[in-house]
Amino acid sequence: MGYPTHRLRRLRRSRGMRRLVREAHVGVSDLIAPMFLCDGENQRQEIDAMPGVFRYSVDVAVEEAQLLHELRIPAVLLFGVPPDERKDKTGKEAWAADGLVQQATRAIKKAVPELVLIADTCFCEYTDHGHCGVLNTTREVLNDRTLENLAKTAVSQAKAGADIIAPSAMMDGQVTAIRKGLDKQGFEDTAIMSYAAKYSSAFYGPFREAAQSSPAFGNRRQYQMDCHNVREALHEVKLDVEEGADIIMVKPALAYLDIVRAVREAVPNPVAAYSVSGEYAMVKAAAQNGWLDEKATATEIVTALKRAGADLIITYWAKDLAEWLASEPAGGRPLDAPGRKPAGKAGGGRRRGRKGN
Ligand code: PBG
C-alpha cells in the first residue's frame, strides 16, 4: 500500500537499458566540422579563444579533411581568412577564383571526393571594414548591391566544386539571388543551406578572432536578428524555404533551442543548428579550470540540440565527438553509476553510437 506502481527508474538501471529507450541520438553522420583557411604552407595556427581549433593552410586543410573523412564525418564548412592586404571595401576576394575557399574546395574535392564541402558565403572576412556587405556613405550595409556579390561568390564556390552554398550575410532575398545566379551558370544541382535564423549574438566573439572579421565600427544589428524574437525567425525561415533553400540553419544553438524546435515544426527541410564559437569557448575555459568535464558537457549540448529537433549539427567538437562516439561502450552492466569507468572496448564497445542503435 502506498508503493508506486509506476517506477520510471526501472528503465534507467543500466547503460544498456538506457540506450534501449533513448529518444534522441547523436550520430557521427549528423556532424559538420567548421574549418578556417589561411595563406601559406604547413600552417596550423591555433586560435587563442578556441583551444583545439586552428586556421589551416590549404595543404594542411587537405590532410585534416582526410582525417575527418576517416572519422566518418560527412561534411565540412569552409571559411576563408585572407590577410588584411587582400581585404577591400566590397570584399571581392570572396569571389576570387584563387581565393582560399576556392583553392581548398578544389584540393579537398580531389583528395577526398566523398566529403561534402559547404562554403560559407559572406563578406565579413573579406571586407576591410568587417561588415557583411557593401556600405553606403552613411555606413549602412546595402542589401541589393550585396546580393549581386553573394551570387558571384556562390558561383565561384560552385565552380570550384562546393556541394552546398551557405549564405550567412543576412541580406533580404539572398537565397533567391544565389539560386538564380547558380542556375544561370548551370549549377542547378548545387544545394543551399541558408543561415535563415541568424541572431546578432555575443556568442560569436571567439569566431571573430578566428576569422579576423570583427566590424571596424558599429555592430551587425541592422542585418542579424534580435534575440528577443521568435516569430521573426519563423518569418525568415518561411521566406528562405520559398526562395529555394534546401537546408535551414539556426544560429547560435545552445541559447536558441526554442527556435530550433519551432523551426523543426514549421518546415519539412533538414534543420541545422550551429553551435557557435562562444558555446565552445565557454566550455573549454571552464574545463581548463577543472570546473566542467568537457566531454560530458559537449555531449550533453549536442544531445540537447538533437532533442530540440536539429538534424544536423555544426560544431567545433565534431572531431572529438566522432572519436568519442566511436569508442562509446555498448554496456549492459546493471547499476552503471555515473563516475564509474566506462566499460572499455570489449564486447560491442566499438559501436559508433549512430541513429537506431
Ligand atoms: C559571418 C559568420 C559569423 C559566424 C559564422 N559566419 C560571425 C558573425 O556574424 O559575426 C559565427 C560562427 C561562430 O561564432 O562560431 N560570416
CATH number of the CATH domain containing 273: 3.20.20.70
Domain annotation covers residue 156: yes
Residue 288 to residue 228: CA distance in whole angstroms: 32
What nine digits make up the cell of 300?
550533453
Tell me the average pLDDT across 317-338: 79
pLDDT at position 332 is 61
Kindly indicate the confidence band of residue 333, based on its pLDDT and cuts at 50, 70 and 90. Answer: low
**Confidence class of residue 213 from pLDDT cuts 50, 70 and 90?**
confident
pLDDT tops 60 at residue 343: no
* Nearest residue (CA) to ligand 1, atom 11: 204
Q: What is the pLDDT of residue 218?
A: 85
Active site residue ranges: 198, 251
pLDDT > 90? residue 340: no
Cα(10) to centroid of ligand 1, in Å?
A: 44
Each residue's pLDDT tens digit, 139-187: 888 899 999 999 999 999 999 999 999 999 999 999 999 999 999 999 9
Q: Is 168 in the pocket of ligand 1 (CB under 6 A)?
A: yes
- Answer whether residue 17 is part of any domain: no
Considering the domain boundaries, does residue 11 fall inside one? no
Mutate to test the pocket of ligand 1, among 118, 194, 213 (most ligand atoms within 8 A of CB): 213
pLDDT digits (tens, 9 = 90+) for 193-206: 999 999 999 999 99
Distance 255 CA to ligand 1 centre (A): 15
Indicate the SS3 state at residue 269. Answer: coil
Determine the residue of 36, 37, 122, 277 to mutate for testing ligand 1's pocket, defined as the one with the most ligand atoms within 8 A of the Cβ atom.
122
Strands 31-38 and 312-315: parallel
Q: Confirm whether 1 is domain-assigned.
A: no
Quote the number of domains for the chain: 1
Which residue range forms the structural domain that includes residue 300? 24-345
Q: What pLDDT, in 10s, does the model give residues 78-92?
A: 999 999 999 999 999
Please state, in angstroms and as integers, the Cα–Cα distance from residue 78 to each residue in 32, 122, 175, 288, following that order: 10, 11, 19, 27
Confidence check: pLDDT of 2 > 90: no
**CB of 315 sitting under 6 A from ligand 1:** no
Of 234-238, 273-277, 307-311, 346-350, give the lowest mean pLDDT range.
346-350
In a domain, 247, yes or no: yes
Whether 350 is covered by a domain: the verdict is no
Q: Whose CA is nearest to atom 8 of ligand 1?
A: 204
Cell of 199: 541572431
Q: What is the pTM of this model?
A: 0.91
d(CA 153, CA 200): 23
Cα gap 20→37, rounded to integer Å: 41
Cell numbers standing for residue 309: 529537433
Mean pLDDT across 324-339: 69
* Residue 138: band (very low, low, confident or very high) from pLDDT cuts 50, 70, 90: confident
Q: For residues 80 and 173, give the distance between their C-alpha atoms in angstroms, rounded to a whole number.
A: 23
Q: What percentage of the chain carries pLDDT values higher than 70? A: 92
Q: Is the pLDDT of residue 60 over 80?
A: yes
53 occurs within a structural domain: yes
On the question of pLDDT at 27 being above 90, the answer is: yes
* Position 351 in a domain: no
